[in-house]
């Protein structure tokens, strides 16, 4: 049975950062780049199965669990859709002193409210950060939180998308240059996994095996690391010191349940 309404809740992962809309004109000064992402891809597939589908994407980049629970969850509850995806916690986990146990309690309360609407709810574990030098140091924190997410999914009867086990996402070819957000191929793999978990047909296989790649010379790797620090990590640290977020002042890209126009690649 197809879904007639779908609401996506979350942060940059659900907004779709790293997967820009193809052939979109360059943004004007001060204009925010708009992205497609796995949630849009899932909605497009749902719309092909149920032409009357209405879709809202409330996710905003940089948001923490408290902000998502306060600003997005009540809107999703009010909309009473058939399907809700909820993913939060990544921005909390990379901050010093975050407590995965306390975070999980907030997620559990939000999921309880979402499930009380009668909607099917999709939850996510994150990817294993062992291949990311900076985040590898807090790998245990990630593991504890996502074990909680597994338990919450089981407790409230939610669908679970386990990205921790997706080997295709361990390859850097699935990630954008900032090493934090997936690129087009990564979002495509996640969308395929979501559809698989929902028991719905899709065009892609999430069990991707990448072809071998040429070895990277150590000097080239160091140059890549220096560029990454200058273009991505440095600005991120600057925002943390200033107490600002990349999502400050941004509105959701699809704030209301509305029909999804046909996507043209």
Summarize pLDDT for 90-114 with one digit per residue, the tens: 999 988 889 999 999 999 999 999 9
- The answer to whether residues 94 and 181 touch, using CB atoms and an 8 Å cutoff, is no
Q: Which of 66-75, 136-145, 254-263 shows the highest mean pLDDT? A: 66-75
Evaluate if residue 225 carries a pLDDT over 80.
no
Pairwise CA distance, residues 26 & 155, whole Å: 45
Would you state the pLDDT for residue 68? 98
**Does domain 5-208+217-259 correspond to CATH entry 3.40.50.1110?**
yes
Question: Where do the DSSP E strands lie in 99-190?
Answer: 120-125, 159-162
pLDDT, average across residues 119-126: 98
Q: Containing H/E element for 108?
A: helix 100-115
Q: Containing H/E element for 84?
A: strand 83-86
Q: What are phi and psi of 5, to 5 degrees?
A: -155, 140
Would you state the pLDDT for residue 214? 73
Would you state the pLDDT for residue 197? 97
- H-state helical runs in 160-202: 184-197
The mean-pLDDT minimum among 111-120, 202-211, 251-260 falls in: 202-211
Q: Hey, where are the domains in the chain?
A: 5-208+217-259
189 versus 2: the higher-pLDDT residue is: 189
The mean-pLDDT minimum among 38-52, 97-111, 216-230 falls in: 216-230
pLDDT, average across residues 55-70: 97
Work out whether strand 254-259 and strand 54-57 pair parallel, antiparallel, or are unpaired: antiparallel
Would you state the pLDDT for residue 137? 84
| Mean pLDDT of the residues in the chain | 88
Q: Per residue in 139-198, pLDDT tens?
A: 999 999 999 999 999 999 999 999 999 999 999 899 988 878 999 999 999 999 999 999
Would you state the pLDDT for residue 34? 82
């Amino acid at each position: 049975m197809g879904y007639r309404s779908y609401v996506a809740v979350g942060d940059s992962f659900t907004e779709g950062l790293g997967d820009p809309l193809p052939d979109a004109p360059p943004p004007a000064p001060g204009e925010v780049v708009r992205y497609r992402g796995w949630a849009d891809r899932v909605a497009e597939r749902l719309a092909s199965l149920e032409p009357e589908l209405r879709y809202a994407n409330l996710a905003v980049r940089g948001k923490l669990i408290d902000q998502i629970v306060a600003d997005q969850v009540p809107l999703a509850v009010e909309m009473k859709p058939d399907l809700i995806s909820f993913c939060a916690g990544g921005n909390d986990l990379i901050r010093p002193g975050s407590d995965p146990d306390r975070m999980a309690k907030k997620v559990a309360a939000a999921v309880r409210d979402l499930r009380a609407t009668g909607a099917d709810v999709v939850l996510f574990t994150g990817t294993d950060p062992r291949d990311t030098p900076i985040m590898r140091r807090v790998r245990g924190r990630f593991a504890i939180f996502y074990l909680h997410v597994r338990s919450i999914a089981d407790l409230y009867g939610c669908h679970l998308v386990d990205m921790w086990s997706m080997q295709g996402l361990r390859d850097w070819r699935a990630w954008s240059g900032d090493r934090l957000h997936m690129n087009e191929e990564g979002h495509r793999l996640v969308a395929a996994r979501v559809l698989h978990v929902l028991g719905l047909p899709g065009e892609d296989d999430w069990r991707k095996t990448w072809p071998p790649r040429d070895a990277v010379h150590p000097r080239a790797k160091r140059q890549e690391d220096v560029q990454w620090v200058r273009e991505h990590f440095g600005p991120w640290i600057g925002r943390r010191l200033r107490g600002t977020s990349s999502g400050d002042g941004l509105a959701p890209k699809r704030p209301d349940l509305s029909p999804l126009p046909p996507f043209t690649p």
